[in-house]
Amino acid sequence: MSSAAGIDALCTRLESYLTPDQIADIRRAYLFSENAHEGQFRRNGSPYITHPLAVANILCDMHMDHQSIMAAMLHDVIEDTGVTKGEIAELFSPEVADLVDGVTKLTQVHFTSKAEAQAENFRKMMLAMTQDIRVILVKLADRLHNMRTLDVLTPEKRRRVATETLDIYAPIANRLGMNDFRVEFEDLGFYALFPMRAPLIRKAVMAARGNRKEMLVSIKEALEARMSEEGVKVRVIGREKHLYSIYQKMREKQKSFSEIMDVYGFRVITENVDACYRALGIAHNLYKPIPGKFKDYIAIPKANGYQSLHTILKGQRGVPVEIQIRTEAMEAMANNGIAAHWLYKSDGFTNTSQTRAREWMKSLLEIQKNAGDSMEFIENVKIDLFPDEVYVFTPKGRSLTLPVGATAVDFAYAVHTGVGNTCVAARVDNRLAPLSLPLFTGQTVEIITAPGARPNPAWLNFVITSKARSSIRHFLKDQQQSEAVDLGRRLLEKTLSTQGSGLAKLAPERIASVLNDLGLPDIDALCEEIGIGNRVPQIVAARLLPDDDGSDTRGATGGANANPSARSIAIRGTEGLVITYARCCRPLPGDPIVGHLSAGRGIVIHRDSCNNILAELRDSPDKCMNLRWSEKVDREFQSELRIELVNQRGLLAEIARQVTEMDANIEGINIQEKGAHHGVMHLSLQVHNRIHLARLIKRIRIIKGVEKITRVRA
C-alpha cells in the first residue's frame, strides 16, 4: 500500500471516533512529517514515512486522541531531521510538541558510554511520562512496530533491541496493565533472541493443540452447561499460554514442556462482579478446588489495576484446570490496561489502571528526586517493574501491594518516606518480627517508629522496592554530607588554631580566592572535601593563611608526631559515616588513637600501635593526625577476645551469662578444638570502652575452665 493510500485508510478508520477537524489536523501532521523525512528510507527500502504511519495505526487501534496520533506522525522529526520542538509547537500545538519531545532521544549531548546514553534517554522519557502518560503509549507503539520489523536489522542490533525490549518495555507494558502489548513484545523478543528455540516450542504447541482439543472442548462444554443450569450468563474462552511464558516456566521452574501443557486454562467472562463470585462457587461445585490455589484479585487488584478471580481445580481424569473469572470490563482492562481509558471512555468506563498508573508515576518522581544519576534511576525503575506481588495490610485495614520478597522496611517506605526513615521495629500479625523478614500475602504489618531514628545502611542489603532503596540512599547521602561538613570544619579549625588563626579571623576575600582556585562554591563544600578525606586540612590551612603569617607555621604538615595537646581532634562517636573504626586493631575509647585521612571514607581511626597506621605514618605523614576520645562517647564498639579453655559442660552458657550481666552484647562466637579436652574461643563483642572490656575480662577470667583470656589486638 502506498503512503497516500495508507493515510487515507487511517483517516477512514479514525472517522469512527474523531471529529473531521481532528482528522484534518492528523492529515496535516502526516504531510509535514512526509516532507521532513523526504529522501529517508527504512532498512527494508520503504520510505521512512511508513514507520510513523504504522505507529499511528497502532494508536488508532487503541482509540487514542488526535494529539497522540499527531505525535506518532511527528515522533522522529526532531531526532532525524532539522525540525525543532519550537517549530512543532508553533505549527501544531505545545501539547503535541511536548509529546514528540518526550519520545525523542538526546542527540546533542555527549555521553561517555552507550549504557549512560541509554539510561539518560530512558530517564528523560520516564519523566516526560510523569507529565503526560500519552508519552509512554506513543513510545510503546513505536517500539512495537520496530519489533515487528526486526528482521531487517543485523543480528547484533536485533539482539540488542530485543534485550532492551524484554528488560524495559515489556515490563512497562505489564506495569500499565497492557497485556496484549506485553505478550507481543515478549514473543517477538523471544524469536529475536532465540531464533532456533522459539520455532521448536511453537511447533510443539501446535502439535499439543491437536492432542488437547478433545479435553478442552469437554471441559468448556461442562462449564457452560453448569453455568446455564444455575442461571449465570457467561462466555467461556479456552486460554493458551504464549511462547515466551512457556519458555520462562520451563527454564525457571525446571519443568518439561509436557508438564506445562498438561494444565488446561479457561477464562470465564460474566456480566458483573456478583456473577463472578457466583460463577466461582459453581466451578468449585463442578470440580474439586486445589487448596491454597485461589486468589481474589477483584477485592485486592494487582499493582497494575488487573482484576480477576483465579482458581485451580482438579478436572476430568484428574487434570489441572486453571480458571480466571472476570467481567467484560475487567477483561478489557486485563488486555489493554491504561489504554482502556481511551478505548472505553465514551461509555463511562472507569479504568483502575489509570489510577494505579498515576500512583506509579508519583513514585517515579520521588525515585528521580533521590537518584544520584541516570544509571541509578534506571536501576531503581527496573527493580520497580516487578512481575509478582504480595498484598499486606496496615493495622487500619488499608491494603498495600508490594513485590514478592518485600520486607517490613519496604512496607514502611510504601506507607510514607518519613515512616521508613524513622522505623525501628515491626509487628507482623501482632508479633515482633525482624525488619529483614520477607512478608506474605494477608499479613498485617505495624511499623514502630522513633523520633530520633534514621535509616541503617545495612537495610540496603535486603530491601527490594525502588522507593525504599532510593530513599535510604538519598538520606544516607545527605547525612554523610552534613557529617562530612561538620567533621571537615572541626579538622580545619583545629589545624588553623595551632597557628593562631581560625576561619572567623580570615579575610573573606582570602577565603573566596582559595575557593575559586580549588573550583569550590563555598566553605561548606571545602569542609566536606576535608571531611570525606579528599583534601588534607594542613595543606588547605596553608593556602588559607596569608603570606605574611610566617612560612614555618603555615607550611607545617604536622603529621601524627606533632604535639598531641595542640593537634588532637576529639572523637565523640557520633560522627557517623565519615568516621571509620579500623577492623585491623578495633580501637576502643581509652586506647591511644591516630587517624588517617582516606579518600571517600573520611578519617579511619587506628590504635597508635597498629602496624597499618605505623606504615601510613611512614609513607604519608601529612594525611595522619593525632586524635583523642571525647569525655562523653555514647555508643558501642566492637572488640574481640581470645579465650583458651577446658571443654566442659555449661562453660559456654556461663560465659554468655557473665557477658549479659556486664551489659555487653555477643556478636559472634567461633570455637576451635585444640586436642581432646582443650579449645580456643574467639568471642566477638560490643562494649562501651576499654574499662568496660577490662571489667568483663576480669569476670570471665575467674570462671572455672577458663585458662587464659586476651584481647585480640590485630
**Is residue 291 in a domain?**
yes
Q: Which of 28-32, 129-133, 184-188 has the lowest mean pLDDT?
A: 129-133
Q: Which of 193, 218, 249 is the last residue of a domain?
A: 193
Judgement on whether residues 155 and 229 belong to the same structural domain of the protein: no
Residue 478 in grid coordinates: 545527605
What residues contact 599, with CB distance under 8 A and at least 6 apart? 532, 533, 534
Mean pLDDT, residues 234-263 taken together: 82
d(CA 666, CA 687): 9
Q: Which of 586, 611, 629 is the last residue of a domain?
A: 629
- Edge-to-edge strands, sheet with 445-449: 431-433, 423-428, 445-449
Judgement on whether residues 183 and 219 belong to the same structural domain of the protein: no
Q: Which of 210-214, 295-299, 482-486 has the lowest mean pLDDT?
A: 210-214
Judgement on whether residues 45 and 157 belong to the same structural domain of the protein: yes
**Predicted confidence band at 549 (pLDDT cuts at 50, 70, 90)?**
very low
What residues contact 325, with CB distance under 8 A and at least 6 apart? 267, 268, 270, 276, 279, 280, 283, 308, 309, 311
Mean pLDDT, residues 101-129 taken together: 65
**Between the CA of residue 159 and those of 69, 186, 381, 512, 526, what are the distances in Å?**
29, 13, 22, 54, 47
Pairing of the two strands 423-428 and 399-403: unpaired
pLDDT at 281: 94
Q: Closest Cα to residue 480, out of 576, 367, 595?
A: 576
Q: Closest Cα to residue 139, out of 163, 111, 173, 112?
A: 173
Q: Which of 178-192, 213-227, 568-582 has the lowest mean pLDDT?
A: 568-582
Q: Which of 326, 347, 368 is the last residue of a domain?
A: 347
Judgement on whether residues 596 and 668 belong to the same structural domain of the protein: no
pLDDT at 563: 39
**Is residue 355 in a domain?**
no
The number of domains in the chain is: 4
Residue 685 is part of a domain; what is its CATH number? 3.30.70.260
Say if residue 496's pLDDT is above 90. no
Comparing 479 with 33, which gets the higher pLDDT? 33
Say if residue 270's pLDDT is above 90. yes
Residue 22 is part of a domain; what is its CATH number? 1.10.3210.10
**Is residue 469 in a domain?**
no
**Is residue 527 in a domain?**
yes
Say if residue 569's pLDDT is above 80. no
What residues contact 439, with CB distance under 8 A and at least 6 apart? 390, 392, 402, 406, 407, 408, 410, 411, 428, 445
Annotated active-site residue in 65, 80, 180, 640: 80
What residues contact 93, with CB distance under 8 A and at least 6 apart? 67
Residue 232 is part of a domain; what is its CATH number? 3.30.460.10
**Predicted confidence band at 419 (pLDDT cuts at 50, 70, 90)?**
very high
Judgement on whether residues 88 and 117 belong to the same structural domain of the protein: yes
**Predicted confidence band at 70 (pLDDT cuts at 50, 70, 90)?**
very high
**Predicted confidence band at 381 (pLDDT cuts at 50, 70, 90)?**
low
Judgement on whether residues 615 and 693 belong to the same structural domain of the protein: no
**Is residue 461 in a domain?**
no
Judgement on whether residues 479 and 551 belong to the same structural domain of the protein: yes
d(CA 467, CA 220): 44
Q: Are 535 and 515 in contact (CB under 8 A)?
A: no
**Residue type for 200, please?**
L
pLDDT at 2: 62
**Between the CA of residue 231 and those of 228, 236, 278, 279, 328, what are the distances in Å?**
5, 15, 10, 10, 18
Residue 241 in grid coordinates: 499460554
Residue 660 belongs to what domain range? 637-711
Judgement on whether residues 139 and 214 belong to the same structural domain of the protein: no
Q: Are 640 and 585 in contact (CB under 8 A)?
A: no
Mean pLDDT, residues 320-331 taken together: 91
What residues contact 284, with CB distance under 8 A and at least 6 apart? 311, 313
What residues contact 572, with CB distance under 8 A and at least 6 apart? 630, 632, 633
Q: For residue range 152-184, what is the model confidence (pLDDT) as tens digits?
A: 888 899 998 999 898 888 888 887 888 889 999
Query: If DSSP states are collapsed to H, E and C, what string results for 621-644?
Result: HHHEEEEEECCCCCCCEEEEEEEE
Residue 703 in grid coordinates: 570462671
Say if residue 346's pLDDT is above 60. no
d(CA 670, CA 680): 8
Judgement on whether residues 161 and 221 belong to the same structural domain of the protein: no
Active site residue 79: yes
Judgement on whether residues 130 and 274 belong to the same structural domain of the protein: no
Judgement on whether residues 73 and 172 belong to the same structural domain of the protein: yes
Residue 65 in grid coordinates: 486522541
**Is residue 434 in a domain?**
no
Annotated active-site residue in 65, 79, 224, 524: 79
**Is residue 161 in a domain?**
yes
Q: Which of 14-23, 317-326, 393-402, 528-537 has the lowest mean pLDDT?
A: 528-537
Judgement on whether residues 18 and 137 belong to the same structural domain of the protein: yes
| Unique residue bearing C-alpha cell 515478549 | 186
**Is residue 316 in a domain?**
yes
**Predicted confidence band at 544 (pLDDT cuts at 50, 70, 90)?**
confident
Q: Which of 486-490, 522-526, 685-689 has the lowest mean pLDDT?
A: 486-490
Residue 502 in grid coordinates: 581560625
Q: For residue range 271-297, what is the model confidence (pLDDT) as tens digits?
A: 999 999 999 999 999 999 988 889 998
Average pLDDT of the chain is 83
Mean pLDDT, residues 187-215 taken together: 86
